[in-house]
Structure 1
Amino acid sequence: MAIPVHEAPGQAAGDASEAFAPQPESERVAALEEELAALRDKWMRAEAEAQNTRNRQRKELEDARNFAIQKFATDVAEAADNLRRGLDALPQPEPGEPELLGKLRGGFEGVERSFLAMLERHGVQRVEAAGQPFDPALHQAMAEQPAPPGVEPGTVIQAWTPAWTLNGRLLRPAMVVVAGKPG
Structure 2
Amino acid sequence: MSETNDTPTPADRPEVAPDAPAPQTEAERLAALESEVTELRDKWLRAEAEMQNLRSRARREAEEARLYAVQKFARDVVETAENLRRGLDSLPKAEEGEPELLAKLRNGFEGVERGFVAVLERHGIQKQDPEGKPFDPEHHQAMAEQPAPEGVEPGTVIQAWTPAWTLNGRLLKPAMVVVAGKG
TM-score clears 0.5: yes
Matches within 5 A, 1:26-175: 26-175=27-176
Deviates further, 24-33 or 170-179: 24-33
Paired residue secondary structure (1:154) = coil
- Which residue of structure 1 aligns with residue 177 of structure 2? 176
Structure 1 residue identity aligned to 2:30: V
Q: Cα deviation per residue 1:73-114 (whole Å; 9 max; x = unaligned)? A: 000000000101111111111111111111111111110010
Cα distance in 1 for residues equivalent to 2:30 and 2:121: 66
Cα distance in 2 for residues equivalent to 1:97 and 1:128: 30
Cα distance in 2 for residues equivalent to 1:20 and 1:155: 80
Q: Cα deviation per residue 1:53-75 (whole Å; 9 max; x = unaligned)? A: 11111111111110010010000
CA apart distance, 1:25: 2.2
Identity value in percent: 71
Paired residue secondary structure (1:143) = strand
CA apart distance, 1:24: 2.1
Alignment root-mean-square deviation, CA = 2.0
Paired residue secondary structure (1:116) = helix
| Residue correspondences, number | 169
Give the direction of change, closer, same or farther, for the CA distance of 1:147–1:22 in structure 2 (3 Å limit). same
CA apart distance, 1:30: 1.1
Paired residue secondary structure (1:149) = coil
Cα distance in 1 for residues equivalent to 2:22 and 2:89: 97
Unmatched runs of 5 consecutive residues or more in structure 1: 1-8
Cα distance in 2 for residues equivalent to 1:102 and 1:178: 34
Deviation beyond 6 Å, 4+ runs, structure 1 = none
Cα distance in 2 for residues equivalent to 1:50 and 1:69: 30
- Which residue of structure 2 aligns with residue 3 of structure 1? none
Structure 2 residue identity aligned to 1:48: A
Unmatched runs of 5 consecutive residues or more in structure 2: 1-6
Q: Cα deviation per residue 1:3-27 (whole Å; 9 max; x = unaligned)? A: xxxxxx9xx99xx7xx787522221
